[in-house]
């Protein structure tokens, strides 16, 4: 029985600039539009990012900022009426939009797998977990020599996510708890030995104990299977604990991206939204009065403010912020920030 895919990753969370090889997953100037005509909404607006082999990559944002849509776009499963209107997603340098349906289906799950938000609803309610696995194996006969080998690997994965295989196989989703479903969903996503797994809000629906367990399991899987992980979340604590690289989205746009150190280190060049987000996390030891919620609300994507989308809520906003959309500028280490004020303060040269 072969376990794991190839050699383990070349060190979790290593510096992204170190990888000279192509990124395994690239998002290039991607725009996803819902609806058409004047009522249409851009849930993802000209977003670019690159996931290197072995990365743990976090996409952070408040609800409704387009981060789940971005995650769907990574597998080209954007729910209608949404569609990609510009840009593309590349897996190992190949554009998903240029693949045939057959090729795409081979990439899905076998190469890039997804674990959905609310994994509670990720299973067909009237067939067993085992049937889900069999259907998946059947759709990808190239991965394993035989069906039983695939089932055997799924049992191994269930052990990894700390579930009892014999009790899970014949269960219906209604017989599993929320935390168990989430873990089964992860095992199911990994059954075809993908190189990248995308998780949408992996901890949101879980209680604190299960969240802890989930973080341990994900770190474990990353170590023992060498799988690259992309996850979408609004939970900064999870990001700090797990991620190597972080991209922060606000109202459909990327506002900052860098290593987890660059994002969380105090004093660095940061987008005011990210500063405000980190200030809004309550800590166990700190006083509640230290928690500063961000004033105002996330703008409705259908009625965006002119200029910088964060400007109405921003403490540092200047007149230019209401007029001109700030560009996403890179420093020499690859740290990207889209803010007129932050970029000027640190004198980062324009591209």
Q: In Å, how far are 51, 52, 191, 243, 265 from 240, measured between CA atoms?
A: 18, 19, 28, 6, 11
Residues 32-71 that bind other proteins (CB under 8 A): 35
CB of 336 to other proteins, least distance (A): 28
Q: Which of 27, 176, 185, 249 binds other proteins (CB under 8 A)?
A: 185
DSSP 3-state assignment of 210? helix
CB of 81 to other proteins, least distance (A): 6
Q: Compute the half-sphere exposure of residue 208: CA atoms within 13 Å on the CB side of its CA.
A: 1
CB of 297 to other proteins, least distance (A): 17
Residues 111-140 that bind other proteins (CB under 8 A): 113-114, 116-118, 121-127, 132, 135-136, 138-140
Q: Which of 12, 104, 240, 348 binds other proteins (CB under 8 A)?
A: 104
Check if the beta carbon of residue 151 is closer than 8 Å to that of residue 133: yes
Residue 228 in contact with other proteins, rule: CB under 8 A: no
Residue 11 in contact with other proteins, rule: CB under 8 A: no
- Residue 14, number of CB atoms within 10 A of its CB: 15
Q: Which of 19, 106, 237, 241 binds other proteins (CB under 8 A)?
A: 106
- Tell me whether residue 232 or residue 337 sits nearer to other proteins (CB atom): 232
88 Cβ contact partners less than 8 Å away, ≥ 6 residues apart: 28, 29, 30, 95, 96, 97
Instruction: Give strand ranges (E) for the chain.
Output: 25-34, 41-51, 56-60, 82-91, 94-95, 112-115, 196-200, 228-233, 245-250, 253-259, 329-330, 336-337
Residues 80-99 that bind other proteins (CB under 8 A): 80-81
Residue 172 in contact with other proteins, rule: CB under 8 A: yes
| Number of helices followed by number of strands (H, E) in the chain | 11, 12
Stretch that binds other proteins, among 23-31, 108-116, 252-260, 301-309 (CB under 8 A): 108-116
Please give the residue ranges that form the binding site for other proteins (CB under 8 A).
Answer: 35, 72, 75, 77, 79-81, 101, 104-110, 113-114, 116-118, 121-127, 132, 135-136, 138-140, 172, 174-175, 185, 188-189, 192
């Amino acid at each position: 029985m072969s376990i794991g895919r190839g050699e383990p990753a070349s060190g979790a969370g290593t510096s992204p600039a170190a990888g000279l090889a192509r990124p395994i997953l690239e998002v290039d100037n991607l725009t996803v539009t819902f609806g058409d005509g004047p009522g249409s909404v851009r849930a993802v607006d000209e977003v670019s990012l690159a996931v290197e082999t072995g990365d743990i990559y976090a996409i952070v944002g408040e609800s409704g900022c387009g981060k789940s849509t971005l995650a769907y776009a990574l597998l080209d499963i954007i729910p209608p009426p949404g569609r990609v209107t510009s840009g593309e997603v590349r897996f190992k340098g190949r554009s998903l939009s240029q693949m045939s349906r057959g090729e795409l289906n081979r990439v899905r799950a076998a190469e890039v797998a997804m674990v959905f938000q609310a994994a509670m609803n990720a299973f067909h309610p009237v067939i067993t977990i085992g049937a889900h696995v069999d259907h998946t194996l059947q759709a990808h006969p190239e991965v394993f020599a035989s069906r039983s080998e695939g089932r055997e690997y799924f049992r191994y994965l269930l052990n990894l996510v700390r579930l009892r295989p014999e009790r899970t196989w014949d269960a219906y989703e209604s017989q599993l708890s929320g935390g168990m479903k989430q873990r089964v969903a992860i095992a199911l996503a990994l059954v075809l030995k993908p190189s990248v797994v995308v998780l949408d809000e992996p901890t949101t629906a879980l209680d604190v104990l299960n969240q802890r367990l989930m973080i341990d399991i994900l770190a474990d899987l990353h170590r023992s299977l060498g799988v690259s992980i992309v996850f979408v979340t609004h939970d900064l604590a999870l990001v700090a604990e797990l991620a190597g690289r972080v991209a922060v989205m606000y109202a459909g746009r990327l506002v900052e991206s860098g290593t987890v150190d660059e994002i969380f280190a105090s004093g660095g060049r940061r987008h005011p939204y990210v500063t405000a987000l980190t200030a809004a996390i309550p800590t166990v030891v700190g006083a509640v009065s230290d928690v500063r919620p961000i004033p105002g609300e996330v703008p409705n994507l259908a009625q965006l403010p002119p200029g910088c989308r964060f400007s109405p809520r921003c403490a540092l906003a200047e007149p230019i912020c209401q007029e001109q959309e700030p560009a996403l500028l890179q420093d020499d280490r690859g740290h990207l920030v889209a803010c007129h004020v932050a970029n000027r303060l640190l004198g980062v040269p324009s591209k």
